Structure formats: C-alpha cells, structure tokens
Amino acid sequence: MQVKLVDCSSARHGPAILAIMNDAIVHSTALYEYRPLPPESIALWFRAKSEAGFPVLGVESDSGELLGFATYGTFRARPAYKYSVEHSVYVTAGHQARGIGTRLMHALIDRAVAQDLGGIDAENAGSIAFHRTLGFEHAGTIRQAGFKFGRWLDLAFYQLILPSPAAPVDG
C-alpha cells in the first residue's frame, strides 16, 4: 500500500482525527481522558493548533484514508518553556507497527526547532520501544499521575534533545 504524508486540516481530517482520538480514549491509556470527545471539540482543537503555529501531520492511504496523525503543542504554559514541546502520535488500529508512526515522528522532528518532550503511560511498552528506537531517552516518571480503568497510572517522560535555537532569549 502506498501512503503519503499530508498537512491535516479540520475540514478534511477532523472527523477521522476525532475518531482516532476517541478510540484511544475508550480502549487505551494513551489519552488520560474518561469520555470520548464531542464532535464540536475537534474544530476548537485545530484552531488552537493553528493559532499557536503547531503542525498537524497525517499519513493517508492511496485511497485518502487517514491512517494516523501526529502533532505537538505547548509543554507547559510558562514563558521559559517556549523552546520545549510535547508531541502526540496516533495510528489507527490495524495499521500499527507498519512504519506509519515512525514516518510521522521523523516529520514532526523535522518541524520542531527546540527540545521535544513527551509523556507516555509507563506501561505502554509499544510506545516506549517506539520512542527509544528514535533516540528518545527516559527523563523521569511521575508516579500515580492519572487514574483510569480502575487503576493508578504512572506517566513516563521520554526526551529527545534537538538542536537549540542559535540565539535563545529570555522573555
């Protein structure tokens, strides 16, 4: 199957991204949400990404089906964190472990300009192995950071240091 990397838009990809996110909410600990997101939330999500200048990348099949998406966003809402971002990568069920996530991550890394930091459920062995193959290193774990499916979840942070801005500034 041929696939292509695309810049996602709310109009074209919003419903598919919402479906992928809601599947992860219902069936995994990848998102620390309890209930599926409502349809109107995806337009707000895209608007926030656009206003902040954050990419939403996707991989489509040759028939135009969205097989996965990736994005990054604000790591922490304080000025000193402006050079750090937190990323998310999701691949639809049935298309995982086929290189789609790797392709999305490489594209995200190419777009990033500073440090990239991500939180992973500490029991998500597949995501941890995936990030390690891309050079991410364990940077710490927050114990009992979330509670889902009747149990406490530890949040592991994996970090990849990217080239810093040539002239970083305070403020």
CATH number of the domain at 35, please: 3.40.630.30
Q: What pLDDT, on the 0 to 100 scale, is given for residue 116?
A: 54
Q: Is residue 128 part of a domain?
A: yes
Backbone angles phi, psi at 163, to 5 degrees: -55, 130
**Any domain includes 168:** no
In a domain? residue 171: no
Contacts of 113 (CB under 8 A, 6+ apart): 83, 162, 163, 165
Instruction: Judge whether 92 lies within some domain.
Output: yes
Q: Look at the chain and report how many structural domains it folds into.
A: 1
Q: How far is the CA of 82 from the CAs of 89, 116, 122, in angstroms?
A: 21, 11, 26
Note whether residue 112 is domain-resident: yes
Tell me what pLDDT residue 82 has: 81
- Which letter does DSSP use for residue 75 in this model? S
What does the alpha-carbon distance between residue 75 and residue 170 come to, in Å, rounded to a whole number?
17
What are the 10-residue block averages of pLDDT along the chain, 171 residues in total?
93 97 95 95 96 94 96 88 87 92 92 66 90 93 93 92 80 77
**Is the CB of residue 84 less than 8 Å from the CB of residue 75?**
yes
- Please choose, from the candidates 167, 168, 55, the residue with its C-alpha nearest in 3D space to the C-alpha of residue 111: 55
Please state, in angstroms and rounded to a whole number, the distance separating the CA atoms of residues 26 and 149.
10
Residues 6+ apart with CB under 8 A from 130: 101, 102, 105
Residue 165 covered by a domain: no
pLDDT computed for residue 80 by the predictor:
84
In a domain, 167, yes or no: no
Structural domain of residue 59, as residue ranges?
Answer: 3-160
Tell me if 79 is assigned to some domain.
yes
Say how far apart CA 5 and CA 57 lie, in whole Å.
Answer: 7
**pLDDT at site 117:** 58
